[in-house]
Amino acid sequence: MPLSGFRILDLTRIISGPFCTSLLADMGAEVIKIESPGEGDPVRAQGVIREGISWYFANYNRNKKSVTLDLYSDEGKAVLRQLIAQCDVVVENYRPGVMEKMGLGDEQLNALRPDIIHCSINGFGTTGPYRDRPAFDFIAQAMSGFMSLNGGELDPPMRAGPPISDLIAGMNGALGIVAALLRRERTGLGDSVSVSLLGSMIGLLSFQASNYFADGKLPARTGNDHGIASPYGLFETADGQVAIAPSNDVIYHKLLDALELPGLRADPRYQTNADRMRNRASIAADIQARTRQHTSAHWIERLNQFGVPCGQVLNLQEVFEDPQVRDQQMAIDVPHGEHGAVRMLGFPIKFSQAPSQPVTAAPALGADTERVLLQFGFAEQDIHGLHERGVI
């Protein structure tokens, strides 16, 4: 597996950090998740609880080991330092400055292991006037400008449903860690990687931001319409909706052939994309009058025959029953002992020569504490003492 042999110490919780480390674990890294004794990651108690386990937690924490450790105690910090010294990467999603207060700033981490890689996933960055502010996905969506671009033209700004700033920050964190590991393989040097929710969201805005940089005009919300192409969007059918995306003139004419609308080809309002953008509402109405005459399945088959990009609007039940989704194994059932099988998302990156990690269950709280400490060189009697004193 691509990351076999690398050991990750995971101090994260909630979404952004656990998603980051789950990507690394799925690619073969050994991920040791540090959790508070008795409580653990708050996500253990969130989402739908079925057969005594949060399936939400199970998705983000598969392929990991759970070690309980009281990081508020001096003994707990001492144990943590011994673990760090034998790990390749430390990942945390505390507010900036918390690691320093724990005596684990970059200088202290480098003293424990000179080639350590430290990844901080935070709200706004490790510097700047907002560095100490709390942040969640909703805040990052708002402050990044993303929300101002999302929704219909006459609607208020709208958030995306999934917590995308957490997820893209976690993805960027994993990318940064892999890049730092590659650099370390070449140079022997460690690094400190910082990824913010705000920066990650702004990094997604290249299309709208580049246009704004070029002409200084604030982009309007366009809902499901495209900002520079028409017709393009959702069209009602006899039994639902289909997304149709003819992104250039060639595909537009294929769309007219598929819909059997030769009259639109000669319509002076629709000769160029610029014409169609000026008359976006009328051409959408003309096309929708036709798509309403048949079912979504009819149009999906016909549009694909003509090479027109299209897709049916599916709910989650329909998504996971879709033959293409099944083929790509994007839903998998993972045994979780007495809790039964948990259905979770498959790994989206497909390797031909280096497959991703066979999925193992998310660990029970502290399930691996003794085994990991023994692996790291702690004596059994010392482990027993730590347990008696409530450190683990």
User: Which residue intervals of 113-259 are DSSP H helices?
Assistant: 137-143, 146-149, 164-187, 197-202, 206-215, 249-259
Gap between the Cα atoms of 293 and 117, Å rounded:
59
Residue 356: the pLDDT is: 73
pLDDT in tens, the chain (392 residues): 899 999 999 999 999 999 999 999 999 999 999 999 999 999 999 999 999 999 999 999 999 999 999 999 999 999 999 999 999 999 999 999 999 999 999 999 999 999 999 999 999 999 999 999 999 999 999 999 999 999 998 899 999 999 999 999 999 999 999 999 999 999 999 999 999 999 999 999 999 999 999 999 999 999 999 988 999 999 999 999 999 999 999 999 999 999 999 999 999 999 999 999 999 999 999 999 999 999 999 999 999 999 999 999 999 999 999 999 999 999 999 999 888 999 999 999 999 988 776 789 999 999 999 999 999 999 999 999 999 999 99
Q: What angle do CA 35, 36, 42 make, to 5 degrees?
A: 75
Q: Select from 26, 137, 323, 105 the least CA-distant residue to 147.
A: 137
Residue type at 327?
A: D
CA proximity to 88, closest of 68, 118, 122, 121 = 118
Whether the bond between 134 and the residue before it is cis, its omega within 30 degrees of 0, is: no
Report the chain's terminal Cα–Cα distance, integer Å.
31
Is the full-model pTM beyond 0.85? yes
Residue with tokens 């450190």: 391
CATH numbers and ranges of domains, the chain: 7-204+326-388 (3.40.50.10540), 233-312 (3.30.1540.10)
Q: What is the DSSP string of 248-281?
A: SHHHHHHHHHHHT-HHHHH-GGGSSHHHHHHTHH
Residue 357 pLDDT: 66
Q: CA dihedral in degrees (192, 44, 348, 313; nearest 10)?
A: -130
Rounded CA separation 297/241 (Å)? 10
Question: Which sequence positions are flagged as catalytic?
Answer: 166
Q: Assign 39 to helix, strand or coil.
A: coil
For the chain, give the number of residues.
Answer: 392
What distances in angstroms separate CA 76 from CA 7, 37, 328, 387, one per listed residue? 20, 11, 43, 11
d(CA 190, CA 40): 29
Q: Are 233 and 280 in contact (CB under 8 A)?
A: no
